[in-house]
Amino acid sequence: MPGKTMICRCSDITLEEVRDLIRQGYQTVDEIKRISRLGMGPCGGKTCTPLIIAEIARARGIRPAEVEMPTFRPPTKNIKLELLAKAGEDKNEEIR
């Protein structure tokens, strides 16, 4: 039952949806991420990215190692402007 196989639990995306995107011409993990938000949930793609890579490789007839790796960006953290202002007051203090 490939249509029911969940690839990304964070974004609720199934294997069939991923296969449909590949059939539509999306050939990289980054392209699939942009169109579906797959891999952009709380887990940061730790579970689904290897599955997507394997599926792209299968569809293209290549080894998973040949699939272009996605762009990884660190999560961002909000900081208060007050911290920036205080850091500017003391030139030796680092922003953390």
CA 47 to chain centre: 10
The total of structural domains in the chain comes to: 1
Domain containing 11 — which CATH number?
A: 1.10.10.1100
Output the pLDDT for position 54. Answer: 95
- Asked if residue 53 is part of any domain, the answer here is yes
Domain ranges, residue 6: 2-71
Tokens 């949806």, located at residue: 17
Q: Is 69 exposed, middle or buried (0-12, 13-18, 19+ CB in 10 A)?
A: exposed
pLDDT digit string, tens, across residues 19-64: 999 999 999 999 999 999 998 888 888 889 999 999 999 999 999 9
Q: Is residue 83 part of a domain?
A: no
Question: Which two three-digit tokens encode residue 54?
Answer: 């394997």
Which helix or strand (DSSP H or E) is residue 64 part of? none
Task: Kindly state whether residue 77 falls inside one of the protein's structural domains.
Answer: no
pLDDT, position 90: 61
Read off the DSSP letter of residue 8. E
Q: Is 62 inside any structural domain?
A: yes
Is 88 domain-assigned?
no
Examine residue 17 and state whether it is found in any structural domain, yes or no: yes
Question: pTM for the full model?
Answer: 0.70
**Closest C-alpha among 86, 32, 40, 78 to residue 59:** 32
